[in-house]
Amino acid sequence: MTKQIWLNLPVKEVAKSKAFFSKIGFSFNKEHDTPSSTAMIVGEGKFVVMLFEETLFAGFTKNKITDTQSSSEVLISIDAESVSEVDELAQKVQDAGGTIFAPPAEEQGWMYGFGFADLDGHRWNVLFMDFNKLS
């Protein structure tokens, strides 16, 4: 039945969001670029995150858009290959204008990660998981 899954996120300005995510290392499928949307590619599995300008997104959902300054609609988690990759990505996010809401730190003795909000307030969680330390 299902061949693929992708995530759709509303953004205020596609060009600014694309620039932000490019600066922190994500790539895009340029074949799917329009003035009001873009297809961001995440990870080796090439998971697609579609970024739609808010008016277009609202037209699809037939619902109002969450105010990400006062609530969270989702926490998007991505993995990292090492502690140093987590730290490097945190620095890139900060340099690109994102907001770190949870600085890089060890969690539960076997994970190391940080949390950030992108330019539109969507919350992301980046984790390196050392399963050898999992008890």
- Residue 114: enclosing H or E segment and its boundaries? strand 111-117
Helix ranges (DSSP H) in the chain: 14-23, 54-61, 83-96
For the chain, the distance separating the N- and C-terminal CA atoms, rounded to the nearest angstrom, is: 37
Q: What is the pLDDT of residues 48-79, one digit of tens each?
A: 999 999 999 999 999 999 999 999 989 999 99
List residues bridging with 113 in a β-sheet.
105, 127
What's the pLDDT score for residue 15? Answer: 97
Q: What is the pLDDT of residues 23-56, one digit of tens each?
A: 999 999 999 999 999 999 999 889 999 999 999 9
Q: What predicted TM-score, i.e. pTM, was given to this entire model?
A: 0.91
| All domains of the chain in start order, with CATH | 1-61 (3.10.180.10), 74-135 (3.10.180.10)
Q: How far apart are CA 116 and CA 104, in angstroms?
A: 10
What's the pLDDT score for residue 3? Answer: 81
Q: How far apart are CA 10 and CA 95, in angstroms?
A: 22
Instruction: Read off the pLDDT band of 1 (50, 70, 90).
Output: confident
